[in-house]
Amino acid sequence: MTASVHADETPAEASVPAAVKPPAIRDGVRVFLLVSALVSLGLSLLSQTSPTFLRGATADHYVRLQPFLGLMAIAVFAITAALVQRVKLESSLSVSRDEAERARQVAVDANRSAKLAEQLAGVGYWSWNLAANVVTWSEGMYGLYGRALEAGPPRSDERAMQIHPDDVGNLTVMMDQALAEGREYQAETRLYRPDGELRHTVGRTICQRDDTGRIVGLFGTVMDVTDLKRAQSAVAESEGRFRLLADSVSDIIIRIDPAGLITFVSPSCRQIIGFDPEELMGSYIGERVHPDDKVRVMGAMRDLVRARRARLAEPMAYRSRHKDGHWVWLEINPTLTFDEHTGAPVEFIDVIRDVSQAKAVAAQLELARGRAEAAAAAKSEFLANMSHELRTPLTSIIGFSRLLREREDLGADAGHYVKRIHDASEALLSVVNDVLDFSKLEAGQVNLDAHPFSPEALLTDTVELVALQAESKGIDLILTVDPAVPPVILGDLTRLRQVVLNLLSNAVKFTAEGGVSIQAGYVAEAGDQGRLRISVTDTGAGIPADRLDRLFQRFSQAETSINRTHGGTGLGLAICKGLVELMGGTIGVETQDGRGSTFWFDLPAQTAPAQAAEPAHQNVAPDLAPARILLVDDTPINRELVRIMLSPLGFSIEEAGGGAEAVQAALERPFDLILMDVRMPGIDGMAATRAIRASSKLNGRTPIVALTADIQPENIIACRAAGMNDHIGKPISPGELIPKIAKWSAPGALDAHEGADDVDHMVAGAA
């Protein structure tokens, strides 16, 4: 124990042991002085009362006093020693009390810590004194068993009632062996608390012996491991579900370390690649990857590790070697996991799917697509050839019959016969157009070409086309345009005119008396969007209800009698339906048998600025400048027809019977305009145009207009790509031919209509 130094002590005093320090010495000196004073006082009194007491010499008096003083000194020292011993005892007792208090406080703290540890760890301890047959429990034991402290430890039978029946017998046997053999034991025990909750415990028991080695008691600890058991059960259940999933799923579940070594693979690998899981464990994942795919697959996995990304951007397919040697298509999308503390890559986890069948189906689909494209191309080529072969003779028939009709020197009968020929050829052309248009629709080869136009002008021009037919039948033809219809809309003028003309022609054809009316309306929607609705109403015979479902089918007509009075292919309404739906609209009919019909359609229409509108039709140019024209066509009768049409107009025409002749002529002589047939044997019109654009200094920038029987958009686009500036469809009509010549033969036509930069680009592309 460290002593403290008081403020009134010197350092020398502070070094003296406590037992001989003041106040012990001071107390002894005080006693000695008191006794001496008392003796001196007694002697003084004696000398006064007894004269004989101090008789003699002074030395004799001192001699007489020495024994007395010695006795007094001995007495004083004896008293001082007793006082010192008392002080020692008191000091030792004080130290003992302090140490006992500290020990008690340590014991209290230790007991408190032990209780806290019991509570935190779920641990309790117990002891059994065999001699006294006394069982002692810690507070932790009461908490484990759910008992109150005041109830005390339970009797053995009470304790047995709380232990799971399956554990009682085993616990009893181990305790008996411990008492008999002194063997310690450890046991897992399930016990029920009074509230019915089942707890799992782990206990360890040792024997306590006396100095002779005799067993005098047992001491044990018990730990609550319920939470641990639940966690283990949850892990086991999760692992069981995972293994069940891994064993049952048809895909391969695999785990791979960052180096590419397989650490786990599900049994489904047997069905997919023929290997047992044991054969793959520990092997390198790249061993069975096809050489052509290995760099791609392994590179992707390395990239994930380097970039520390969890997934690929999209699944990856590769070929893996089957155990029997053939290749299997697999699809992977591995997930890379990372250590949550260090961030280091841990492993890849993936579900690998067999996509061999999907790959085979995709290959078949690709093959089928190729075949379909080839068939579509063949069909397109067939349609183009048919269009050319049918329209070419019709060009001559219609053209020459038109020329004959315009002659005034024909007799009445001859004029009648020519009219019959012309009407029949026009009807035949209509049939050809319907068949070709419907074939294009079915093949999905009809493209829309949207431009701004005036819907009112379109309807007016279309009504004028059938006005003569209606007038000849004595029926009225009325057009009504709602003021809400925009002045200009954006759409395919040609296709919309085709639909309206078909509906109008049918209405006039099937109306014997009364009239036909066409109405146009518009419903505005958000912004510049809206819907255009056009309806055509007639006062004809109407359509029986049982035939309505056949109206818009191909090769189907409402008039089915063998003695029907009206002709046609039965494709008109089917074509209208296809075109309207292609433009995003709907078409329908409202009719009553014997009271007429109303055919209608509506489609989305976007408004456009008024100045952007194209004219619904083009008029013949009133003034034609003299021009040198190169006319190229492999059919002499077509060249003759065009020459007859143009000769009265003062043009200088040179003919070429094929592409090679056209190129040669363009190399030798300049022309103001070239009319180029497209389909010709040998060098066709497109090849001849490219050659002229690329090699002719005289005609490299001369306008070239295609003469073609194939007026489908894709063919027109191909003509433009070859270097042509415009096109004229066959059969050739003066109403289309002469305005086009006037447009392109005028001085500066290229700059006015196409722009020099466009032509230069077109010439460069052709070269």
Q: What is the pLDDT, as a whole number, of residue 767?
A: 33
Neighbouring C-alpha atoms within 13 Å toward the C-beta of 384: 18
Residue 664 pLDDT grade (very low, low, confident, very high; cuts 50, 70, 90) = very high
pLDDT at 411 exceeding the cut of 90: no
pLDDT bin (cut points 50, 70, 90) of residue 765 is very low
Instruction: Tell which residue, 601, 666, 596, has the closest CA to residue 632.
Output: 666
- Can you name the CATH fold of 447-612? Heat Shock Protein 90 (3.30.565)
pLDDT tens profile 251-273: 888 899 988 899 998 888 888 99
Angle, helices 356-405/636-646, rounded to nearest 10 degrees:
50
**Which pLDDT score is estimated for 359?**
87
* DSSP code at position 583: T
* Residues recorded for the chain: 767
Q: H/E element holding 603?
A: strand 596-607
Domains 122-230 and 249-354 share a fold: yes
Q: With CA atoms as reference, report the closest residue to 186 among 213, 229, 225, 160.
A: 225
> What does the CA dihedral 568, 569, 570, 571 come to, rounded to 10 degrees?
-120
Pairwise CA distance, residues 257 & 264, whole Å: 10
CATH class of 628-766: alpha beta
Q: Which residue has the higher pLDDT, 20 or 362?
A: 362
pLDDT in tens, 113-132: 556 555 555 688 888 888 88
Nearest to 454 by CA among 500, 495, 490: 490
Pick the CATH number of 122-230 from 3.30.450.20, 3.40.50.150, 3.40.640.10, 3.50.50.60: 3.30.450.20
pLDDT of residue 196: 83
Q: Where are the domains of the chain?
A: 11-115, 122-230, 249-354, 447-612, 628-766
How high is the pLDDT of residue 421? 78
Residue 559: pLDDT over 60:
no
Specify the pLDDT at position 670: 93
Report the distance separating Cα 736 and Cα 711, nearest Å: 13
Under 8 Å between Cβ of 636 and 657: yes
pLDDT digits (tens, 9 = 90+) for 690-709: 999 999 999 999 999 998 87
Of the listed ranges 35-39, 229-233, 408-412, the one predicted with least confidence: 35-39
Task: Give CA–CA dist 706/327, Å, rounded.
Answer: 55
Q: Which two tokens stand for residue 300?
A: 């992707």
Tell me if 709 sits within 8 A of 392, measured CB to CB. yes
Query: Which pLDDT score, from 0 to 100, does residue 240 have?
Result: 64
| Helix/strand/coil (H/E/C) assignment for every residue in 408-450 | CCCCHHHHHHHHHHHHHHHHHHHHHHHHHHHHHHHCCCCCCCC
| pLDDT tens readout for residues 455-469 | 999 899 888 878 888
Strands (E), 444-514: 451-453, 476-481, 489-491
- Compute the Cα dihedral for 503, 509, 511, 515 and give only its sign: positive
d(CA 634, CA 618): 28
Residue 458's nearest CA partner among 618, 620, 621, 615 is: 615
Report the CATH architecture of 249-354. 2-Layer Sandwich (3.30)
What pLDDT score was predicted for residue 67? 66
Mean pLDDT of 441-458: 79
Q: What is the mean pLDDT of the chain?
A: 78
> Please, what's the b/e burial string for 39-56 (b: 16 or more CB within 10 A of its CB; e: otherwise)?
eeeebeeeeeeeeeeeee
Q: Is 410 exposed, middle or buried (0-12, 13-18, 19+ CB in 10 A)?
A: middle
Q: Average of pLDDT values for 472-479?
A: 90
Average pLDDT over residues 170-177: 84
Q: Give me the mean pLDDT over the 209-218 stretch.
A: 87
**Cα–Cα dist 428/414, whole Å:** 21
CA distance 401 to 407: 10
Q: What is the DSSP letter of 615?
A: P
Of 517, 461, 452, the C-alpha closest to 487 is 452
pTM of structure: 0.44
Query: CA dist 560 to 383, 502, 565, Å?
Result: 28, 19, 10
| DSSP H or E run through 355 | none
Residue 408 backbone dihedrals phi, psi, to 5 degrees: -100, -5
Q: What is the pLDDT, as a whole number, of residue 6?
A: 38
450 vs 158, 492, 501, 591, 735, CA distance in Å? Answer: 96, 4, 19, 32, 23
d(C-alpha 244, C-alpha 123), whole Å = 37
Tens of pLDDT, residue by residue over 565-574, are 444 445 778 8
Query: How does residue 95 score in pLDDT terms, banded at 50, 70 and 90?
Result: confident
Among 302-316, 388-402, 611-625, which range has the highest average pLDDT? 302-316
**Residues above pLDDT 90, as percent of the chain:** 20
